[in-house]
Amino acid sequence: MSSISVNGGEDVSQFRIADVIAKKREGLPLSPQEIRHVVEATMTGQAQDCQLGALLMAIRLKGMNPEETMTLTKEMVTSGSVLNWPEEWSGLLVDKHSTGGVGDKVSLPLAPALAACGCKVPMISGRGLGHTGGTLDKLESIPGFSSQQNPEQMLEILHSVGCCIVGQSKNLVPADKIFYEMRDVTATVDSLPLITASIMSKKVAENLSALILDVKFGAAAQSPTIEEAKHLAHSLVNVGDSLGISTVALITNMDSPIGRCVGNSLEVIEALECLEGHGPEDLRELVLRAGGYLLWLCGRAESEIQGEEKIASVLRDGSALQCFRKMLEAQGVKPDIARTISSSSKLGKTSHIEELKVYKTGTVGLIQARPIADVLNALGAGRKKATDTINHSVGAELLVREGQHVEKGAPWIRVYYDEPLLQDKDRQTLQNALCISEQPPFIPAPRVRDIICAQRKAAEHGDTVRRQGEIS
């Protein structure tokens, strides 16, 4: 399959970057032609780094209206290629994007489950940076797995398997790579219109039919409050829907780790538990909800509830697991490993395993995700900068859960590490992440706290906030 190039084709040479910066500095909206000029000047090297940084800061401080955000998204798409799929796949191409979390291995069981339900899933994922984990890093803990697949290879894998999980190619939205690297060094990463354009341009370039967004809020999320997460979700959903992608956002809590495990190889094992029909309930909740909505959005289910039932069925009967194994083999894993991998597989070991004890009797009120992630990253599980090498085997396993009664002295976390060694200050940080209360045991709140649909889709959907609970 060859990718197809898109180009605005309009002469924008009459604009000056300095004038565009001044206009946005005053809080005025930029015209489509001015935004096109900025993107083209960035791609051709005509925009100096200092100019692009100044413009990004002006956007961060003054914002962009929905029309500007939409235009920026489209111009980012036209900076490179878009993926071109067979006509018979129209309506079946789906993907998921998460704003990043701790223990977030949802994509690993979700993609093959959707493929087992008849969807085509060209999932383009990223690597971990800072305290958040990356889907590609998790999969690369499986020996031989290759995330670098060109469009022709993606097409072949989607034909034979139905899903692939790959890294972003150089030709897909190259302007976003330049913009993001500049945002990273100019303290403008958290700009809502820039986040929206960055995320949605890549999804538009994938040529998708439907998209589910997992927009997280909480102490370990990009959006600290649910109000901020909803604001971002509305921006993302509106752009996606306006550009022809049926889009829904789940607003999910990210105070505590998802599931029991944090760390690349440990999270793969936990994802395999889910693919075997088991696994932690909060992980299953996110997989079922995301998958259920996507099946509804692309017409493979009459409602998101029926979609959840279909996802639960392919997890239960093993067909999702078989898709996962086929995907691994198609992406470079040796057949003897890919065809037998399961939750009992060993994906590496560390030289040190240490358990920490509960410091007082009571009820686990909260297990804070951010401190755990920070300690593990310092031990080698993550990156401070994109070029850092990670140790896939470093991680932690939670031995207790929120709402559970625990006794003083019982083990609550198991830490796997090599070098550097776990220090006393790290142990104290981890102990502080465990919050013990005197309240009686309780059932933790669901991860999904709200659903954001575009207006026309919400009208079809009716009441988007429905009963909680798990489909068995």
Residue that the structure tokens 């600290």 belong to: 224
95 phi/psi in degrees, rounded to 5 = -155, 170
User: Rounded to an integer, what distance in angstroms lies between the CA atom of residue 87 and that of residue 420?
Assistant: 52
Catalytic residue among 183, 216, 300, 326: 183
Cis peptide before 151 (omega within 30 of 0): no
User: Rounded to an integer, what distance in angstroms lies between the CA atom of residue 429 and that of residue 415?
Assistant: 13
Token output for 70: 């939409």
Is-catalytic flag, 198?
A: yes
User: Rounded to an integer, what distance in angstroms lies between the CA atom of residue 394 and that of residue 264?
Assistant: 7
Question: Do the beta carbons of residue 188 and residue 354 sit within 8 Å?
Answer: no
Question: Do the beta carbons of residue 307 and residue 300 sit within 8 Å?
Answer: yes
Is-catalytic flag, 183?
A: yes
Neighbours of 184 (CB within 10 A): 13
Is-catalytic flag, 461?
A: no
Catalytic residue among 104, 176, 214, 255: 176
Strands 434-437 and 362-367: antiparallel
Catalytic residue among 107, 198, 223, 265: 198
> Hey, what amino acid is at 164?
C
User: Rounded to an integer, what distance in angstroms lies between the CA atom of residue 119 and that of residue 126?
Assistant: 21
Question: Do the beta carbons of residue 69 and residue 239 sit within 8 Å?
Answer: yes
Is-catalytic flag, 202?
A: yes
User: Rounded to an integer, what distance in angstroms lies between the CA atom of residue 466 and that of residue 472?
Assistant: 17
User: Rounded to an integer, what distance in angstroms lies between the CA atom of residue 144 and that of residue 328?
Assistant: 9
Is-catalytic flag, 457?
A: no
User: Rounded to an integer, what distance in angstroms lies between the CA atom of residue 128 and that of residue 114?
Assistant: 24
Catalytic residue among 96, 202, 284, 325: 202
Q: Catalytic residue positions?
A: 97, 176, 183, 198, 202
